[in-house]
Amino acid sequence: MLIARHNEILELARRDGRVSVDDLAQRFSVTPQTIRKDLNELCDRRLLARTHGGALLSSGIENVGYEARRVISGTQKVQIGQRVAELIPDNASLFLNIGTTTEAVAQALLQHRGLMVITNNINVAGIMRGYTHIEVVMAGGILRHSDGGIVGEAAVDFMGQFKADFAIVGASAIDPDGSLLDYDYREVRVTQTILQNARQKILVADSTKFERSAPVRIGQLSEVDVFVTDECPSQRILKLAREADVEVIETSKNEPASDTPDD
């Protein structure tokens, strides 16, 4: 049986995407040891997934809410966006798909000139609206009210009309075997089409994506050219990237990941 405190912890995780031991201990006026025991019990039931200093909402079929995703690793996403912007020259064409990390990329690109940005993300269009030196091309389709994404067959067909210099895509989870995962098969279809129609493919995902799972497969890490993250904690993923000649850029190290042997 879950005690009342457990239920409240779960509600906080659903609202914010993650919880911390220190914040919970202060909120409930209990010791950090008590909270760690609570989190361990919730993780044993696969309701949460432990992280350093706290836990994440552990849902294999439903994503964390949009506002919570914006907050999670917000600083890291800004750094990822800035690093990706350094890879994009002026006068380039690029796809940007749905996600709070790709929105951080859009923010970092605002001073670029002569870009054509093709997107199924209303928030990206909103960020770039008013910057007349950037042409924004919006996909049509079904509006997903939860996060402003455009999905469906019309969006897939629309994206298939273009051949862009770059695809900048996010994923909701990265499996230890290198699978890139998401929650909505309709969104995945659009992302797959984007990847098929780009000359260079850049994956953007913060390190919390290694701690999550999702049910729909976008593709494999080996199918992208560059992976930009704040930190890659998985030696297995680094090894897979090396074998597939995928460049891994960790913003926390401010340089491409080293070829550290697998343990």
pLDDT at 10 over 90: no
- What are the structure tokens assigned to 42, written together? 């919730």
Model-level pTM?
0.78
Q: Tally Cβ neighbours within 10 Å of residue 33.
A: 10
Between residues 200 and 44, the one the model is more confident about: 200
Q: What is the mean pLDDT of the chain?
A: 89
Position 261 scores a pLDDT of 41
Task: Mark whether 113 and 215 lie in a shared domain.
Answer: yes
Q: Is residue 228 assigned to a domain? A: yes
Mean pLDDT of the 186-210 span: 95
Position 225 scores a pLDDT of 98
Q: The domain that contains 31 carries what CATH number?
A: 1.10.10.10
Mean pLDDT of the 231-245 span: 96
pLDDT in tens, 120-174: 999 999 999 999 999 999 999 999 988 899 999 999 999 999 999 999 999 999 9
Task: Mark whether 41 and 102 lie in a shared domain.
Answer: no
Task: Mark whether 9 and 121 lie in a shared domain.
Answer: no
Q: Taking the alpha carbons of 191, 194, 200, 204 in that order, is the dihedral positive or negative?
A: negative
Task: Mark whether 112 and 205 lie in a shared domain.
Answer: yes
Task: Mark whether 78 and 161 lie in a shared domain.
Answer: yes
Task: Mark whether 39 and 81 lie in a shared domain.
Answer: no
Collapse the DSSP code of 173 into the 3-class scheme (helix H, G, I; strand E, B; otherwise coil) and give the result.
strand
Residue 189 contacts residue 251 (beta carbons within 8 Å): no
Whole-number Å distance between alpha carbons of 185 and 191? 10
Percent of the chain with pLDDT over 90: 70
12: containing domain: 4-58
Query: What confidence category does residue 75 fall into, taking pLDDT thresholds of 50, 70 and 90?
Result: confident
Q: Is residue 263 assigned to a domain? A: no
Residue 39 contacts residue 55 (beta carbons within 8 Å): yes
The three state secondary structure string of 214-247 is: CCEEEEEHHHCCEEEECCCCCHHHHHHHHHCCCE
pLDDT in tens, 86-127: 999 999 999 999 999 999 999 999 999 999 999 999 999 999
Q: Is residue 206 assigned to a domain? A: yes
Task: Mark whether 33 and 140 lie in a shared domain.
Answer: no
pLDDT at 176 over 80: yes
Whole-number Å distance between alpha carbons of 117 and 109? 10
Task: Mark whether 19 and 123 lie in a shared domain.
Answer: no
pLDDT at 25 over 50: yes
Q: Is residue 120 assigned to a domain? A: yes
Position 67 scores a pLDDT of 61
pLDDT at 83 over 60: yes
pLDDT in tens, 27-44: 999 999 999 999 998 888
pLDDT at 260 over 50: no
pLDDT at 2 over 70: no
Q: The domain that contains 250 carries what CATH number?
A: 3.40.50.1360
Task: Mark whether 44 and 84 lie in a shared domain.
Answer: no
Task: Mark whether 53 and 163 lie in a shared domain.
Answer: no
Q: Is residue 21 assigned to a domain? A: yes
Q: Is residue 39 assigned to a domain? A: yes
